[in-house]
């Protein structure tokens, strides 16, 4: 079971801001910006490069949810970032696909 599956199963507590039949979204335990939320599919896709064509609808749903969360959090107007880390060089630490929604301050580019 991945760490995020344990959050989905309520075995590990998290500050959940959204849940539907396809995904869950909760605040990152180590926020890198005033708003830092993870959007996670309930289906375990390890990382974005492992997604299959059958995951197309799920991937679209995750992006739409990220945009809706940014609206709900009040960071859509000022601007925000959606980031996905794949593999060691990408900075991935949890092998269960997740979108980072970051905002509430100006973000640097490139991210480092």
d(CA 3, CA 61): 21
Candidates 16-24, 28-36, 57-65, 66-74: pick the segment binding ligand 5GP (CB under 6 A).
28-36
Q: Write phi, then psi, for 60 (nearest 5 degrees).
A: -65, -40
Q: Lay out the sheet containing 80-83: strands in order across.
A: 16-19, 23-27, 35-41, 99-103, 80-83
10 binds ligand 5GP (CB under 6 A): no
**Annotated catalytic residue 100:** no
Per CB under 6 A, contacts with ligand 5GP among 57-86 are 85
44 binds ligand 5GP (CB under 6 A): no
User: Which residues are known to be catalytic?
Assistant: 98
């Amino acid at each position: 079971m991945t760490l995020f599956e344990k959050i989905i199963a309520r075995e590990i507590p998290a500050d959940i801001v959204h849940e539907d039949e396809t995904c869950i979204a909760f605040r990152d335990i180590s926020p890198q910006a005033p708003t830092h939320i993870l959007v996670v599919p309930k289906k375990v896709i390890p990382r974005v490069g492992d997604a299959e064509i059958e995951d197309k609808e799920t991937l679209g749903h995750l992006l739409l949810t990220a945009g809706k969360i940014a609206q709900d959090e009040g960071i859509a107007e000022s601007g925000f970032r959606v980031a996905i880390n794949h593999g060691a060089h990408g900075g991935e630490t949890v092998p269960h696909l997740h979108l980072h929604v970051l905002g509430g301050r100006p973000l640097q580019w490139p991210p480092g």
